[in-house]
Amino acid sequence: MRLPPTRLVATAALVVTVVTACNGAVAAGPQIPPASVSRPVIQRTLTAHGIELKPADLTAPAGSDILIAFDNADPGVPHGLVLYGDAAHTITLGAAPVVVGPDHQVFRVAGLALGRYQFSCVVHPMMVANLVVGS
């Protein structure tokens, strides 16, 4: 089949646009560290129960990868956990998708610098917990 010249140009422009969009999405997406990176790995657990995150405060050493185990213990209630890097909740460091409890998920956060970080539920923003990364 032979496309008329105008149709061919439109098709080529569409392909270029899609490729550009894909490249932009990859560059802006979260950087997943390769499995071969030899940082220490620790695990912390957060539970959603009674529309609260427990415990309210977690600690972790700087530079360790953290496996966040998120336990949604509220039957029939959707929760989605996000770890933010700033108080305004504009920097997302890791997240578990929204799921209806009871459910259990694990996500990995790459080594963090010293500081204070905050967990929150995307469905219930008043559900918060702190992560204090120390030395």
Q: Is cis: bond before 125, omega within 30 of 0?
A: no
3-state secondary structure of 73: coil
Pick from 79, 85, 103, 131: which binds Cu ion (CB under 5 A)?
A: 79
Is residue 82 near Cu ion by the rule CB under 5 A?
no
Is residue 94 near Cu ion by the rule CB under 5 A?
no
Q: Which residue number is nearest to Cu ion in terms of Cβ?
A: 121
Q: Which is nearer to Cu ion, 48 or 131 (CB)?
A: 48
Q: Which is nearer to Cu ion, 65 or 120 (CB)?
A: 120
100: Cβ contacts below 8 Å, ≥ 6 apart: 72, 76, 77, 78
Stretch that binds Cu ion, among 13-21, 37-45, 107-115, 118-126 (CB under 5 A): 118-126
Is residue 72 near Cu ion by the rule CB under 5 A?
no
Is residue 128 near Cu ion by the rule CB under 5 A?
no
CA distance 85 to 91: 5
Torsion angle, alpha carbons of 55, 97, 89, 68, to 10 = 40
Query: What is the chain's length?
Result: 135
Is residue 104 near Cu ion by the rule CB under 5 A?
no
Backbone angles phi, psi at 5, to 5 degrees: -50, -40
Q: Which residues bind Cu ion (CB under 5 A)?
A: 79, 121, 123-124
